[in-house]
Amino acid sequence: MTAVDSAPELAPDPDLTAADVAWDLDPLVDGGGAGGVIALLDRADETADAIGEIRGRVGGLDAAGLAQVMTRMAEVADLVGRAQSWAGLRFATDMADAERAALAQQVEERAAAISTRLVFFEIEWAALDAADVDALLGDQVLDFCRHHLRSLRRYRDHLLSEAEEKLLTEKAVTGSSAWSRLFEELSADIRVDLDGDGDASASLEEGLSRLADPDREVRRSAAEAVTAALAPGLRTRAYVFNTLLADKATDDRLRSYGSWIASRNLSNEASDESVRALVDAVVARYDIPQQWYRLKASLLGIDRLADYDRMAPLGTDDERFGWTAAKTVVLDAYESFSPEMAGVARKFFDDRWIDAPVREGKRPGAFCAYTVPSRNPYVFLNWTGRRRDVLTLAHELGHGLHAYLARRQGVFHQATPLTLAETASVFGETVTFGRLLAETDDPGQRLALLAESLEGTIATVFRQIAMNRFEDAVHTERRDVGELSTDRFGELWTQTQAALLGDSVELTAGYSTWWSYIPHFIATPGYVYAYAYGQLLALSVYRRYEEGGAAFVTRYLDLLRAGGSMSPEDLGRLVDCDLADPGFWDGGLGIVQSQLDAAIEAASAAGHPKRG
């Protein structure tokens, strides 16, 4: 045996895999572990019992009395939120662990029971006369919860009786929440055979990351492997989706919502008309991604892209980023905009608020958990060392920055509606992209970066609206026709994707099942259009920054600090954006067009013809 034959296999570079980047969840429960979770819920139970003593008397409260009740409500939200965050985040890192799963379920059941006992408040509050409400909310003692209380009144026409509301809240634990958890566990169990040797040991996240490989054969085989991995549980995931579609239809009927999306719009503080204007504006510009994909095909030297080619890099090398280098890039980018932003972002690294590596049983994707204002937010990643992961890190840190700066607003006003939730994340990603671009002189690499940015925008704006069109189709058909077959899901997915891509991309047969791993369809129906809303808003905000320079920084940070304490329209005014103007979306789409134009010019500078 030669020395080479006997040499041990080198372990993966821990910096490249971010192997040691694990979060510390102990502060959520003051170091108490699972026992600390139960203690928090016990305290929440006691506080909820105390609040229950005012049942039937909400209408008789003065402003000071209402403030006392809302302070106790905030205590309950903090206690339950900390318990849910610890159990849920711990479960997300290993969804195959039965003990973690059981605790997460126990927490959800107890949280639902606590919420059930407080249903009376929302019903009694909604029943008050508008004049009485205005008089109460005019008192500054209610500043910490004013917008929240006003927002609760928006549901006045959709609330049921207290008994019905309690029943629906309790049944949700074994209904929609249980089905969502099943879908998450099924998705976490998906294993991909990337090497074709029968060893399906890669995660779905790893399989999807190979779609950004420079080798077309690698991309093609990865797509086929993902399709094969989705097949075994496809029927079960389709049944879960069908069940939740029917469940939502029942809820909407009982609550007198006029359409499947109406409750989401109300939650987002967005009118049905404004959302329709957004969707129509984006659909009308499907020519932007189609033009890009035709040009990209010529840049890659192929006649027509296949679905697995869309994220192919245009650079000549497969650049990989270690965790240390990624941290430096992102912090430097944030520092270039605001030292305060960089200081907050640095805390996520230094104080262990990030969980990064890919692990067995870990939930796919990336997110930022706000938790509660009394504690810190956390960032969840599946790090594969691609440049895209660097921008994902910047994106999720933007969410974290938003959560951290808005924590002073308290539990009622920290979070924004979904329509503004992507503002800081997209802004942070855009600042980081600008940093990467500024440090790149080579025309070919500049083209690769510009292409990656444009494709990120296409994925966030146009693909999300195409997914909204898919949701619209399946919700409508489930209500009008009945249960959808797996083939019918695939047909509607293919139709709505084909509308987006036109003849610029070939949709392969296997792609028809790729709807079946997307969690937003299951857990948060109607969510996806908020990505397009947030992206176009964030691009407009970034344009204001380019125009205003350093003078804009304070206004932007004020926007983040405001959290959800105002309506979306009022928040937009802080950064000179008129969200009530239907033409606002055209302005954002104009910025996307300018991104396309910049990529076309970069292609020309790199020696490629101007084609589209």
CA 485, 490, 495, 499 dihedral sign is positive
Say which CATH architecture domain 26-174 belongs to: Up-down Bundle (1.20)
- pLDDT tens figures, 224-258: 999 999 999 999 999 999 999 999 999 999 999 99
DSSP 146-183: HHHHHHHGGGGGG---HHHHHHHHHHHHHTHHHHHHHH
* pLDDT (0 to 100) of residue 2: 37
As a whole number, mean pLDDT of residues 60-84 equals: 98
48 closest CA partner among 84, 75, 66: 75
* pLDDT (0 to 100) of residue 445: 83
Query: Is residue 552 over pLDDT 60?
Result: yes
As a whole number, mean pLDDT of residues 174-199 equals: 91
Cβ pair 569, 580 in contact under 8 A: yes
* pLDDT (0 to 100) of residue 448: 85
Model confidence at 4, pLDDT cuts 50, 70, 90, reads very low
Contacts of 546 (CB under 8 A, 6+ apart): none
Query: Scanning the structure block, which residue is given the tokens 């009694």?
Result: 124
Contacts of 23 (CB under 8 A, 6+ apart): 89, 352, 353, 354, 355, 378, 379
- pLDDT tens figures, 367-396: 999 999 999 999 999 999 988 899 999 999
- pLDDT tens figures, 304-332: 999 999 999 886 555 788 999 999 999 99
- pLDDT tens figures, 134-184: 999 999 999 999 999 999 999 999 988 989 988 998 888 889 999 999 999
Query: Is residue 7 over pLDDT 50?
Result: no
Strand 378-383 vs strand 354-357: parallel, antiparallel, or unpaired? parallel
Query: Scanning the structure block, which residue is given the tokens 């939730």?
Result: 421
Domain ranges of the chain: 26-174
* pLDDT (0 to 100) of residue 388: 84
CA 247, 251, 253, 254 dihedral sign is positive
Per-residue buried b or exposed e for 354-364, using 16+ beta carbons within 10 Å of the residue's own CB: bbbbbeebbbb
Average pLDDT of the chain is 92
Tell me the CB-side half-sphere exposure of residue 551, using CA atoms within 13 A. 4
Cβ pair 59, 127 in contact under 8 A: yes
- pLDDT tens figures, 478-513: 999 999 999 999 999 999 999 999 999 999 999 999
* pLDDT (0 to 100) of residue 609: 57
Residue 124, SS3 per DSSP: helix
* pLDDT (0 to 100) of residue 394: 97
DSSP 13: P
* pLDDT (0 to 100) of residue 546: 86
* pLDDT (0 to 100) of residue 587: 87
- % of the chain residues with pLDDT over 70: 97
As a whole number, mean pLDDT of residues 101-108 equals: 96
- % of the chain residues with pLDDT over 90: 75
- Helix then strand count (H, E) for the chain reads 29, 7
Higher local confidence (pLDDT), 453 or 304: 304
CA 607 to chain centre: 38
Cβ pair 367, 77 in contact under 8 A: no
CA–CA gap between residue 124 and residue 126 (Å, rounded): 5
* pLDDT (0 to 100) of residue 549: 87
* pLDDT (0 to 100) of residue 129: 95
